[in-house]
Structure 1
Amino acid sequence: MLGHDVSVSSVEGKGSVFSVSVPMGRLQPKRVGAAGKVIHNAMADQGLGGARVWVIDNDHAICAGMKTLLEGWDCRVTVATSLADLERQLDPVGSPVDLILADYHLDNDETGADIVASINELRLHPAPVVMITANYTNELKQHIRDLGYVLMNKPVKPLKLRSTLSHLISLQRRNQR
């Protein structure tokens, strides 16, 4: 209807990825109010400014899309397709992180929950976790809840993701004071 390119990639028994190519938009210029203060929109003050977020997903396209989305919200993003990939980029035990966003189903029968557990068990302050999955089973929901993680089902709505990240990051920052 909008004339954008749409594509799909599917692996039987694993899942499908649907992509829509959308032309690049332009940011609105900052508005300056009285006394030279910059007027922000309501979304700019949701607590994500400068947040350090690690994204773990085995799909390179999802990593790229999530990086673009989160950087648009002023996050500092590191994307990785596995624990080894993350370790090549930083020290998961000592590097500062405000939140880990992980896909549940990864390659080689690994899960995001396993990777995050191995990271957080060694950290002085475990990072909050948002686990993303297309699996809607009650067993998985309960398992993720028992681990103390937040579960979001695919497809993830950006506004809901931003709200969740904002809440978790603000709690994390408060607890670290």
Structure 2
Amino acid sequence: MKLSDWARQQGISSITAWRWFRAGKLPVPARQLPTGTILVEAPRSEGTTVLYARVSSADQKEDRERQVQRLQAFAQEQGWTEVTVVTDIGSGVNGKRKKLLRILRDPQVVRIVMEHRDRLARFGCDVLEAALAASGRHVVVIEDGDVTDDLVHDVLDIRTSACGRRYGRRSARHRARQALEAMGCG
């Protein structure tokens, strides 16, 4: 790629990039052609692909393992070589999942692959995807149909989270369902 194109991608002026090249301070390998054009070498690594499988509770271990198998088969079909599997247990409403936050912070992760969009988060997936895209990274969803993303399920998830904080995690889902049934939504 031309030095000016590389500079534009990095958000710096082409003159600054040219000065860095002349001073030997350009952070990427580059060479000058006999015509004077400076070419920046493309990085050799494509980056890491993370296969992200999440379930809501520990008793769904078999579901999590099936998710991992399907994600691995998909990655192999795509020809992705640098693949890391990350599994998580926790609510999609919870924004403090340490493993997910570690993935989102890692600049070496170029794509996050998951089975359904709600594995990433119940709410705000569009915002997360836009933030990742701004840094040249993206989310790949295998099953793009929103299986459980209707309003009743979203209300159930919010209610479960609130009940879990108040009554404890063990009976949260049962109490949330009772509350929805009492409201006439269940």
Larger Rg: 2
Could you say which TM-score interval applies, normalised by the shorter chain?
0.3 to 0.5
When normalised by structure 2's length, the TM-score is: 0.31
Pick the structure with more strand per residue. Answer: 1
